[in-house]
Structure 1
Amino acid sequence: MSGIGLLDGLSEQSKADLEARCRWQRYVAGDKIMDKNSGDRDVYFVAEGAVQVVNYSFAGQEISLAHLQAGSYFGELAAIDSMLRSASVVALEDCLLGALPPRLFINQLADHPDMAVQVLCCLAGIVRGCDERIMDLSTLTAMKRVYLELLRLAEESPVNPGNWLIKAMPTHKVIAGLAATTRETVTRAIAQLTVGDIIESKNRMLFIRDRERLENLVRALGDDMAR
């Protein structure tokens, strides 16, 4: 539990106690961890690997809601409001998860106000992210949503300031889920950006060679490509 950011303010003994109270399980990439509308209310800590929070349209299209790396947690909504799960969760990579019963999680929030504030900030971030996602879906074409996701995933290089890259480039399926579109659209968008010398893929990384041009493509009016 030493790598879980939410628990940074706890003593090592408190972390060890929580670790002992968790139910630990390993999952392989592609495993379904949690189903939407299930009655499970545990809070899950991602000790190793990565998971994806997803929902599905009536047509069966997978929509990605969040991509969580080691050190993250999920499942707090059901623990707090005792409602059914609001989304499904699948393993993106082989991972190790610890499941904490809801009552123990609520007790931790009551005993550690700083931890409760962190959870509140996370929930506020989810609401803000949903607002942005609704705006994107309402105002941007599918191609522009792919461009925007690439910008969101990119980080500035610590070695070369002004250069932007995605260190571990997600699969086209993952990006499609984030952009609420199809893998074919993602493939087409990345191919066009590559031909235009705006991005370059190398060693599972994606380098944004011209961030300004990519930002201008998102802002540009008149892109009437199919959603």
Structure 2
Amino acid sequence: MTYDDFAVETLRGSPLFSHFEDEQLRSLAGGLRRRRFRRNEVIFHQGDPGDSLHLVSSGAVKIVLPSSEGEEAIIATLRRGDYFGELALVDGAPRSATAAALESTETLVLPRDAFRSLLDGEPHLRDALLTGLAAELRRLTGHVEELHFLDLAGRLAMRLVRLANERQPAARRDVQLDWPYTQSDLAAMIGGTRQSVNKLLSELVSEGLIRIEPDSLIIVDIDRLTRRAER
């Protein structure tokens, strides 16, 4: 598969560009820049100018709110076909968060001017962008709800349920999650510490709710894990 073919397939798999015709996708692919990042390498920092849209073509990305003390809160994790950096292109403000690679990652980069031109001429793209922004707002609302109303064990269980539903929406048992996350990453997703997450994961293993294997985590029973989150 050539690079252009790979870029077209990646674009076609993104909800932002899935409505484009093949000829449009090939034209768009020709204007993309390919960037590669090592594990933990920063893609852009909070406060940087918003000059491009990134589309994940391989690997995984975390979107992070950093603190002045060096801690971080992970507010989103992204996989192939997901996009990020769109907010700054819409309102022209600096980057609202930091993006970093969770593992060896490649993104396809669309410059701001090219994105704005597409947005002006493609009503379907505007609709897809609005749908994506609404979905992100709903997801973040749910995240705030979990932080306020669930204890740490509940937040961990619910985060695993959400990751499983993103991976295999229809599955209820034995959902295998590819696992680029460290325990520190998981702690940063739920507002805990690495030590507390390690203890809670061990408890979930003991209860038969999850299995941990090299580079993967298996959700044994999503319904039971959901009930565990709601205790």
TM-score by length of 2: 0.85
1:39 aligns with 2:28: no
| Structure 1 residue matching 2:57: 3-state secondary structure | strand
Q: CA deviation at 1:58?
A: 4.2
Detail structure 1 runs of 4+ shifted over 4 Å in the superposition.
155-158
User: Counterpart in 2 of 1:223?
Assistant: none
Corresponding residue of 1:87: 97
Question: Once the 2 structures are TM-superposed, how far is the Cα of residue 105 of structure 1 from its aligned partner?
Answer: 0.6
- The answer to whether the 8 Å contact 1:35/1:89 transfers is yes
- Secondary structure of the residue aligned to 1:7 is coil
* Cα deviation 1:174-195 (Å, max 9, x = unaligned): 3222212222221111101111
SS in 1 for 2:204: helix
Larger CA deviation: 45-54 vs 161-170 = 161-170
Moved more, 123-132 or 202-211: 202-211
Q: Does structure 1 residue 171 correspond to structure 2 residue 171?
A: no
How many corresponding residue pairs? Answer: 219
Structure 2 residue 155 is the aligned partner of structure 1 residue 145: yes
Per the alignment, do residues 10 and 139 of structure 1 end up closer, same or farther by CA in structure 2, a change over 3 Å counting? same
Separation in 1, partners of 2:56, 2:166: 25
The residue aligned with 1:194 is 205
Provide the C-alpha distance between the structure 1 equivalents of 2:196 and 2:75, rounded to a whole number of angstroms: 19
Q: CA RMSD in A?
A: 2.3
For 2:147 and 2:70, locate their aligned partners in 1 and report how far apart those are by CA, in whole Å. 18
Partner of 2:220: 209
Name the counterpart of 2:35. 25
Q: What is the percent sequence identity of the aligned residues?
A: 26
Cα 1:163/1:34, change in 2 over 3 Å = same
Query: What residue ranges of structure 1 are gaps of 5+ in the alignment?
Result: 221-227
Instruction: Name the residue aligned to 2:3.
Output: none
Q: In 1, Cα distance between the equivalents of 2:48 and 2:209?
A: 43
Distance 1:99 1:136, change over 3 A: same
Summarize deviations over 1:77-97 as a string: whole Å, max 9, x none: 111100010000001122222
Deviations 1:93-133 (A, max 9, x none): 22222222212112212222112111111100111112111
1:55 aligns with 2:88: no
CA contact (8 A) 1:45 1:98 kept: yes
Task: Tell which deviates more after alignment, 177-186 or 77-86.
Answer: 177-186
8 Å Cα contact 2:150-2:230 kept in structure 1? no
Alignment correspondent of 1:100: 110
Alpha-carbon distance in 2 for matches of 1:67, 1:177: 11
- TM-score by length of structure 1 reads 0.86
